[in-house]
């Protein structure tokens, strides 16, 4: 992969911007803002860092479509389990680990997606599988009938009169967070799939003409 240091610089700036105010402060109060933060890592910073070629991976294991797909899925689902999410929000070390795991596994994911030495249909399978599992997690969060995360029940600003303990605001914000995890990544992954398939078909046509 050709090295493009400028992409690495931009990707690093995006990461820094995501973990500094005002977004970081907003993410402590609003789950939807925290989800925006996660999507910035996964959909903007990670592909920039991977596309730079500066963080290219040599390990066969870390180039395995199955391993990388499962690793990235595990990071997404693990840290969105209420017990781990709330623990990360209450502990700075765990919070840094949470963000690092999203970023690192996403960089590994995009490294594989961008690897031209791997068969295109294999990469399509990785992106499709990731689209399904991340979308499923977004749906679970969006359609939960009650707030999932105690941290946000305690820390989300209350906008309506007391009576339901503020759960209406928390639940609405949680639904928005689920939609953020479900829809924008789905669109990005679908575009990537279309591009990979189009290139695969173009390569097939070229081979046939030869």
Q: Which residue has the tokens 């990360």?
A: 88
The pLDDT score that the predictor gives to residue 161 is 47
pLDDT > 70 in the chain, percent: 90
Residues belonging to the chain:
210
Looking at residue 8, what DSSP letter applies?
H
Percent of the chain with pLDDT strictly greater than 90: 71
CA dihedral 93, 95, 98, 103 (to 10 degrees): -100
Q: What is the mean pLDDT of the chain?
A: 90
Q: Residue holding tokens 């592909």?
A: 47
Confidence at 66, pLDDT banded by 50, 70, 90? very high
Write down the pLDDT at residue 204. 63
Quote the pLDDT of residue 209: 53
What are the distances in angstroms from CA 60 to CA 50, 112, 155, 179, 184? 16, 11, 44, 35, 30
pLDDT at 158: 61
CA 155 to CA 82: how far, in whole Å?
A: 15
How far apart CA 202 and CA 8 sit, in angstroms, is 30
């Amino acid at each position: 992969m050709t090295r493009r240091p400028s992409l690495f610089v931009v990707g690093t700036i995006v990461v820094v911007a995501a973990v500094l105010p005002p977004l970081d402060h907003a993410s402590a109060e609003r789950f939807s803002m925290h989800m925006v933060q996660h999507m910035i890592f996964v959909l903007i910073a990670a592909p920039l860092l991977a596309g730079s070629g500066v963080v290219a991976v040599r390990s066969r294991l870390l180039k395995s479509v199955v391993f990388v797909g499962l690793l990235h899925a595990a990071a997404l689902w693990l840290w969105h389990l209420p017990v781990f999410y709330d623990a990360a929000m209450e502990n700075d070390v765990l919070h840094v680990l949470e963000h690092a795991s999203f970023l690192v596994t996403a960089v590994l994911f995009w490294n594989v997606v961008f690897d031209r030495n791997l068969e295109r249909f294999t990469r399509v399978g990785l992106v499709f599988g990731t689209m399904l599992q991340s979308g499923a997690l977004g749906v679970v969060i969006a359609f939960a009938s009650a707030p999932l995360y105690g941290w946000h029940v305690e820390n989300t600003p209350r906008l309506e009169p007391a009576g339901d303990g503020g759960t209406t605001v928390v639940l609405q914000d949680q639904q928005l967070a689920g939609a953020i995890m479900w829809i924008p990544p789905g669109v990005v992954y679908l575009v990537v799939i279309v591009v990979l398939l189009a290139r695969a078909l173009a390569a097939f046509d070229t081979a046939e003409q030869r």
